[in-house]
Amino acid sequence: MEIKSAEFIMSNSNVEKCPKSLLPEYAFIGRSNVGKSSLINMLANRKSLAKTSGKPGKTQLINHFLINKNWHLVDLPGYGYARVSKSAKRTFQKFITEYFSKRKQLVCGFVLVDIRHEPQTIDMEFMEWLGENMIPFCIIFTKADKLKPKDIEDHIKAYESIMLETWEEMPQYFITSSSNGLGKEDLLSYINDLNQSINQP
């Protein structure tokens, strides 16, 4: 699938105020600085559709982008930023969990993780929370340009074996780089297939 048009629609912190249209949407979530906004720009072939920064905490709101006039990409704030801990269990910013639990148009959440890092508790907890709430998601490994191909393989294997301690199977995943475009075709064709399946009930 080729992205022919991409436009910013709105930003807000309240899921009730998100676009009313029932177009299918896909949301990018993960720790601050993992590359959510950069990935949206890479997919859309646009340098600064979504605002990016070297400093964590750039994206603070729920941002809707209309793609090819018939589906939405959603850029979210990092959940590792300004989070609050409640006893032992971490809580995520309220509007993030509200977005995922209330947004009926959401077809799939993409949980971004930096391919260089070992599994992080906050990512594992967020994926568990998605699973408990039966919200479909995939994992997107980002910044693959920072590793050699052999190291990519090793990191994925290590990640998978830790995931399999709590999950029956490894969720669908993609290996990407916003710097060199790795994973772009696969991700867009995955989204395209889902869009088609929604249009043909």
Binding site for ligand GTP (CB under 6 A): 32-38, 52-54, 56-59, 77-78, 142-143, 145-146, 177-179
The option from Mg ion, ligand GTP, none interacting with 97 (CB < 5 to 8 A, set by class) reads: none
Q: Which of 135, 196, 147, 133 is nearest to 175 (CA)?
A: 147
Helix, strand or coil, per DSSP, at residue 91: strand
CB of 7 to ligand GTP, least distance (A): 19
Yes or no: say if 54 and 102 are a contact pair by the CB < 8 Å rule: no
Of all residues in the shown chain, the one whose CB is closest to Mg ion is 59
Instruction: Copy the structure tokens of residue 154.
Output: 């090793």
Considering only residues 34 through 73, tell me which ones interact with Mg ion, judged by CB under 5 A: 36-37, 58-59
Nearer to ligand GTP, 108 or 198 (CB): 108
**Please, is 39 exposed, middle or buried when counting C-beta atoms within 10 Å of its C-beta (0-12, 13-18, 19+)?**
buried
Nearer to ligand GTP, 98 or 145 (CB): 145
CB of 45 to ligand GTP, least distance (A): 15
Yes or no: say if 11 and 62 are a contact pair by the CB < 8 Å rule: yes
How many residues make contact with Mg ion (CB under 5 A)?
Answer: 4
Nearer to ligand GTP, 151 or 193 (CB): 151
Yes or no: say if 72 and 27 are a contact pair by the CB < 8 Å rule: no
The option from ligand GTP, Mg ion, none interacting with 105 (CB < 5 to 8 A, set by class) reads: none
Strand partners, 71: 67
Nearer to ligand GTP, 55 or 157 (CB): 55
